[in-house]
Structure 1
Amino acid sequence: MLVTGAASGLGLALVTAFGVRGEQVLATDISADRPATLPPRIDYLPLDVRSDDAWSAALEHVLASMGGLDLLVNNAGVAAAGRIDMATMEEWQWIVDINLLGVVRGCRTFTPLFKEQGSGHIVNTASLAGLVHAPGMSAYNSVKAGVVALSETLLHELRPHGISVSVVCPSFFRTNLTDSFRGADAEVEQAGAAMVTRSRRTADRVASTVIHGIDARRDLILTDPEGQIIWRIKRFARPLYRAGMNRAGAEFARARGRQSKATASHW
């Protein structure tokens, strides 16, 4: 199997757990040097998911050293938060290229091999943000929703070829993902970072749930009860869901107003 974004967070937890099970694992990440976080028994290959050439090199490596592939986990991703009038187009382009097009490149690279084999499993890491769209996160919500849509499309498109597709939608859990924050809307990013920090859920715990879902060939893998509840509220109690999101949007607006007044009084 091949896992992207494997040097930390959920990716590291996944390759570690798969390695304990005795699986042949190829961990990839953007670092040119082997990350010290990886267990010694796990093979490593540098892979920048934004690079078509890097993906081609990964395919060549898999064919030469593994002879084929049973599982591709497109897990690499970055975090971003920001209101629509504050997030820059550079932020949008950055997160689209990594979180969405990085997944697209992985699927495009290995689908021909899976078709040739007549088997394979693609697992794409999205987020609960791909299903539930809170205010202040338009770029992140959009790319993760795109990953969900891509995964559902491929689920039906590739099934006749013996290929399974799953999408993973975790909510907040403790990880270093927030280290990638780089946007102009510091207030919203701080709020997102606080929710990650306060979570009691670990990457290892989430990975255990994900692996169970992979083994069961689930097309949608929700990793925690809170996420399942919110997803069901959106689907079956839409007015309640809308009211909650409206309250969150109003709070952002009030915070922006307080900030503007403070700036005006300063000057």
Structure 2
Amino acid sequence: MRVNPSEPRLVVVTGAGSGIGRATAIRFAKRGAHVVVSDMDLDSAHATTAMIQADGNTASAVQLDVTDPDQWQTFARDVLADHGVADVLVNNAGIALGGPFLKLTPADWDRLLSVNLMGVVHGCRVFGEQMVERGSGHIVNIASAAAFTPTAVMAPYSVSKAGVKMLTECLRLELGPKGVGVSAICPGFINTNIGVHGTMVGVDPEIADAS
């Protein structure tokens, strides 16, 4: 059985406590899906869930640290037990971090890649396994126009999003014949709070805040 991703029954969205993730969760809920709203900030996830329920639709909130593979395993297992196999997974969770390349430390790179790239890898792995076993499903990875466009002082972010784009293309070839679609969305600049909570290494915080 193939799933029509435009009319799914069960959708999982990471980073759904705000921004693109919240808007995505609300939109899927309006199309009749039950949405599992996950976010590192559980209060934000509950806020999104409340918005969905206020419209008469259904959703549940879960706290998830996308950098932790063990949490991913537990999360996927719980979703399966409570709701069944997800029809759509949206890997949206991400952070912004940049700065002059020579000022960035290995810890800076590890922090960003653990969320923006490995968080997507973990999600694709645990939910992709369930979808392949069923023979249907769709994974949507939120990349960025930064995957195509080099930008000074944003090397880690651009590298992470280029990685998400290529991961998506590889998985499309591998999982597509097994009934699982894999897509990447590459938005440009959008007015969300990712920039507000972002980090610019080597830049005066007052200057960064003013910009």
**TM-score, structure 2 as length reference:** 0.85
The structural deviation recorded for 1:144 is 0.6
Identity across the alignment (%): 40
Question: 8 Å contact 2:144–2:185 — kept in the other structure?
Answer: yes
Divergent runs of 4+, >4 A: 187-194
Q: Does structure 1 residue 37 correspond to structure 2 residue 37? A: no
Aligned to 1:114: 131
In the superposition, relative to structure 1, how do residues 141 and 192 fare at CA in structure 2: closer, same or farther (>3 Å)? farther
Please list, as runs of the form range in 1=range in 2, the aligned pairs for 1:93-242 lying within 5 A after superposition: 93-186=110-203, 194=211
Aligned to 2:16: 6
Q: CA RMSD in A?
A: 2.1
Question: 8 Å contact 1:82–1:188 — kept in the other structure?
Answer: no
Aligned to 1:63: 80
* Structure (1 or 2) with the greater helix fraction: 1
* Structure (1 or 2) with the greater strand fraction: 2
> What amino acid sits opposite 1:135 in the alignment?
A
The structural deviation recorded for 1:192 is 10
**TM-score, structure 1 as length reference:** 0.68
For the pair shown, which has the larger CA radius of gyration, 1 or 2?
1
Aligned to 1:210: none
Aligned to 2:32, what secondary structure does the other structure show?
Answer: coil
User: For each residue in 1:114-166, what CA deviation from the matched residue of structure 2 results, as whole angstroms up to 9, or x when unmatched?
Assistant: 11110110100111001111222111111110000100000111111011011
Question: 8 Å contact 2:168–2:184 — kept in the other structure?
Answer: yes
Moved more, 111-120 or 37-46: 37-46
User: For each residue in 1:139-197, what CA deviation from the matched residue of structure 2 results, as whole angstroms up to 9, or x when unmatched?
Assistant: 11111100001000001111110110110101101000013322323279967984xxx
Match for residue 27 of structure 1 among 23, 37, 51: 37
The structural deviation recorded for 1:88 is 2.0
Question: 8 Å contact 1:81–1:188 — kept in the other structure?
Answer: no
Aligned to 1:179, what secondary structure does the other structure show?
Answer: coil
Segments of structure 1 that go 5 or more residues without pairing to the other structure are: 195-267
Aligned to 1:51: 68
In the superposition, relative to structure 1, how do residues 192 and 129 fare at CA in structure 2: closer, same or farther (>3 Å)? farther
Aligned length: 194
Aligned to 1:242: none
1: CA distance, partners of 2:46 / 2:197: 19
Which structure is richer in relative contact order (CA contacts within 8 A, separation 6 or more)?
A: 2
Segments of structure 2 that go 5 or more residues without pairing to the other structure are: 1-10, 54-58
Aligned to 1:78: 95
